[in-house]
Every structure is written in structure tokens, then in C-alpha cells.
Chain A
């Protein structure tokens, strides 16, 4: 058997996933986990009554085993008390599915974590967010590499939108004006990324709707920490603040307005 082969039970849950969807209401909580490196993202919704899970739904972006494990945990946890549900482990999910390929055990076996997150969120619902206020580090502080590449890929102003033609452009969020610039530039190049340290863009809702209709990619809770290249800008190092992970993104232009 190939090390990447799935069991029949995994395939069954992949083909006919149980309890797909979302839930809403006062008695609902959602758990979200994801591993951007591997590319899996999972949401588990629970509805709780008398300390018991009376309904569950899920949504998953990920490979076959990510979908199957989410589907399986909705079967395993349905009807359980929160305590019982908390005791379900990654291994329980994997063995109920008659095993997962070794390579998938770590990264695509997130369902138990997502369920725990949902239960945690259920128990703390109604309480205010744990006092974290979002703060943007405003910038007199220059990015590493910013000075080296000024006018060689790093720009502080827009002379002609057409000069962005076919350039992969990353724009550092600075409210409405950068969102407007992103929309305009996206008419000239298929690749525009808007990067914000916030969970949501601090722009007018009409602008958000407009932005959603374009192919502009928004990176939330992320910031550029370094600009790299040889002679001209070639890539940026991005810090995903939420996952505390750093990764490189290939770009041609960095726009700081």
C-alpha cells in the first residue's frame, strides 16, 4: 500500500461528508483551526443544550483526510456532553477512520483541535474578548530593505496606475486610500495584495464591497517585515501575526502610501 493511500472509511467520509454546513444562534459556538503551511482550515460548529452537543456542522478547506476527519468528529461528538467531547483525541478520530496515512497524522488531523476550540469558545461566550485591543505599529520605523529598494520596487506614491501593469504589487494597508489604490491597480495587473495588521480592513463598507468584487487578495493580521531582492524588489518576508509564522511572498512592487 502506498504511504499516501486512504482507507475506505476515509474515502467514504470524503465522498459523503456528514453534517456539512454552519449553525447560528445564541447556543452555538464555532471552533476554527488551520495550518497555513499545509493548507488546511477547519471550522466546527456546535449547538449545546444542557451541557450536551445537540447539533454539529463543519466546513473544511483541505485535503481528503482533512474533510474526512471533520466529518468523522461530527459523528463522534454528537450527543456527547462537553466533557466527553473534550476527551476525543486526534488518535480517536484517526482510528475511527481506520487510520490515516502517516504524513497526514499531524497536519490534516485537526478536527479534535477544532472541536476543543469550539467548546472553549462556547464556555467563554458572552464574555468580552480577552481585553486584547488591536494596535497597529505605525511607521516611522522603516522596513528592513525599504531604503535599499526605494524607487527600485518600493514606492511612496503613484504617478501612473499603468506603471503597475503586470507587476505583482503588495500594498501596506493605510485605510481608504490604499484600498482605493488596490482596486485601481488591480485593473492593470492580476496580482494585487493588500496587507493589514488588523482582523478587518479599516475602510468604508462601500469600499469593502467594491474590493470584494476584484481579485485583490487581502492578508489579514499580517505585516511585511523585510523587503528582499537583487538590485530590485523580488520578494517580501511576511509575518502572519495570528499563526506567528513567517513566509516569503514573491512580488515586484511594494507600495507604501
Chain B
């Protein structure tokens, strides 16, 4: 088994979640749309899950729409809202560092008559509220800013952004996948109108997510069929998956504070030791306003994919923002948006810890990272020893 330090990419499902899902495969397998007893049983389970998940983010049960995951929830929020409200305007504002799904949804909307403005971030990855304001026009109907960044872990000033959108009468969507399970997400306190969550990011099964839709926020469905989920997301509900997400949310609600505190200690240890022990190493993202599980570095003179391969040989799983590890061969748009040059973005390494990370995992990683960096720097024409 490898040492897994890439919780941002995927998380293992908590065994307690699997246990909670178990009955819904064979015993309580009903279709919530059926009117018989087995169907009623499934409906009851589904509605209970909706209450638990709503409670997790301070919402009403009716404001929760189950989807197949965060990408679908982002599609429903942005395409659904844009299509429903295009009479009001055709302008949408997103940040430069949104998840790739938001960027590609925006491209789709641009092909369909919408105009999308992107708000830049500062060198730490923070969206400047003033810069959002500078882009708002009379045609702006929607702003979408991720609660925290999925790569560099920077946390946004969501309350300020929400206040601005409220003042302007513009709906605010936030993809909170990177932040969930690490930060308190209270839609009662933070006046976000639409919120995307995924199940796997709180140690539930993949293939489930939700869109929180504040009462009164109208969207068109993007999946048409039998009219499930108030007609906003057709298709028979994935009851076992939804029960898993609900259990994951229930556990997270209880354990988050302690878990985040433990992860924060790991994060700070990683940052301190790497910056101290490896010359010409830098932290990407904000020094303090960052997710408690996220440490993101760059090492001058080396390329991220080769570093990832070297660590893989040592039995350690990490991530990189290097183009050479991506399908498009483009470096991470997030790192570029913080002002890094291509060669710097290529040399990045993302470490994300999680529920099952141990102090020993960090020991192992910290024991090999300096050596791996050194070995690659010896090969590099870009790195000159001082």
C-alpha cells in the first residue's frame, strides 16, 4: 500500500459509511417513486438523508437537490440558472481559479450567447471583492466563486462576496467541494444562494453530490425525465449512495473540528520542514488563509511530473500542477493566475492530508522529499547550486 497524500483527488470511504449503506442494496432496495411499502421505505430513507445533509450546512431539507456529484451540481447551478434567467441578463462572473468544470461550463455558455468575465486573484489566490464589483454590469445575473481553491487551498472571503452580491441583487453560487469537511459551511450565515457539495469529499461514496438551492432561487433542470428531485433532477435516486453521503455528513458534523485541528498541525509541520530543509522551495497559496489539509509547494529547477514519479517509486502518492501530468499539457490555470511563470507552475507539488493520514506518513514523506528534489536538480539545466 502506498502512503496516500492526495486527499484532494479522492478519499477512501469511511467504514461507518459503508455499514450505513449496506441495507440499501438488497433489503431496502425500493424506488422512492413506487407507491408500495418497499417504495415508501425508500422515500422515508431518502427524505431523512435530505434532512441530515441540510442540517450539515444549515439549510432546509427542501433546498437540497441530489445529483450524481459535484460536476453535475455545478452544471445544474450555472447552466440551469443561466437558462432559466436569461431574460434578466446574459452576463456571468467567475474567478480565474475556479475548478475546471466551472471554466468549461462557462465556455459552453459563451457558445450559447452568454458573456463570462473572469475575476483575477492576488498572488495568494484570493479573489478581490472590489474586482468582482468592477466587473458587474446591469446584465450580470450570476457570480460563481469557489469557497476554497481545490489546488492551492486558499480560502475566499465568502461573506464579503455574498454581501456584495446581495447588495447588487445577483445570485451567488459557490463550489464548496474543496472546503467541505474542513470549514464550517453555514448557508444561513453566509448568504450563498447555491452551493455545490460532493459526497466523496466528506468520506462518502463517489457518484453522489448535492446542489443547495436557496428557497426562491429558480433553475431549469439539465436532466429531463420522470421529474424526481422537484423536477430539477430526473432519474431514479441513488438511494444507497445518498444514504452514504448522509452518514458521511453526520459523522463529519461531529468530528470536523477535531479532525481539522489535527490536519492543521500536519499541514504546518509539512510547510515548516520543507521550507526549512529544501533550498529554493516556496509555498503556493496563502500562508494562513488556507485549508487545514493543504500544503502546496514549488521547487525551482525541477518539473512536477518527474517529482511525482520519483515519489511514486518511494511508495508515496501526491499531486502536481505540472502540465506534463495533465491531459491538455497546459499547466495549472490556478498557479498561472497567482502570477507564476510556466516553468514555476511546472515545478509544483500538492500534498493533501485527510482522515486516515498518520504522523508516520509524514515522517516517511519528509524523509524522502529532499532527496528526490536533489536528484532531479542534479539533472536540471535550470538549477544552479549556490
Chain A interface (Cβ < 8 Å from any Cβ of B): 4, 6, 11, 14-15, 17, 20, 32, 36-43, 59-64, 66-67, 103-104, 107-108, 166, 168, 189-191, 193, 217, 219, 230-231, 234-235, 247-252
Contact = CB atoms under 8 A, between A and B. Distances in A.
Given A168-B123, A231-B134, A63 B379 contact: no
Given A231-B134, A234-B120, A191 B325 contact: no
A250 B329 CA distance: 20
12 contacts: A36-B342, A43-B381, A59-B380, A60-B380, A61-B301, A61-B379, A61-B383, A63-B309, A193-B341, A219-B341, A230-B135, A250-B96
Contacts of B72: none
Given A60-B380, A103-B327, 14 more contacts: A6-B309, A38-B324, A39-B323, A39-B343, A41-B343, A42-B381, A43-B381, A59-B381, A61-B379, A62-B303, A63-B324, A166-B122, A230-B134, A249-B341
A60 B381 contact: yes
Q: Which 8 A-B pairs have CB atoms at the shortest separation, nearest pair first?
A: A63-B324, A39-B346, A63-B305, A59-B381, A168-B339, A250-B339, A61-B380, A234-B120
Contacts of B342: 36-37, 39, 247
A14 B339 contact: no
A39 B123 contact: no
Nearest to A251: B339
Contact of B325 (A4, A14, A230): A4
B329 A40 contact: no
A79 to B, nearest CB: 23
Contacts of B121: 250
B306 A67 contact: yes
Contacts of A191: 123, 339
B313 interface: yes
Contacts of B336: 248, 250
B329 A103 contact: yes
A62 to B, nearest CB: 5
Contact of B306 (A14, A42, A190): A14
Given A15-B313, A168-B339, A191-B123, A40 B303 contact: yes
Contacts of A11: 309
Interface string B15-59: 000000000000000000000000000000000000000000000
Contacts of A249: 339, 341
A250 B341 contact: no
Contacts of B90: none
A39 B322 contact: yes
B305 to A, nearest CB: 4
B309 A64 contact: yes
B380 A250 contact: no
Given A15-B313, A191-B339, A252-B122, A63 B303 contact: yes
Contacts of B303: 39-40, 61-63, 66
Contacts of A168: 122-123, 339
Contact of A250 (B120, B301, B343, B346): B120
Interface string B271-285: 000000000001000
Interface hub of A39, A166, A231, A250 (most chain B Cβ within 10 A): A39
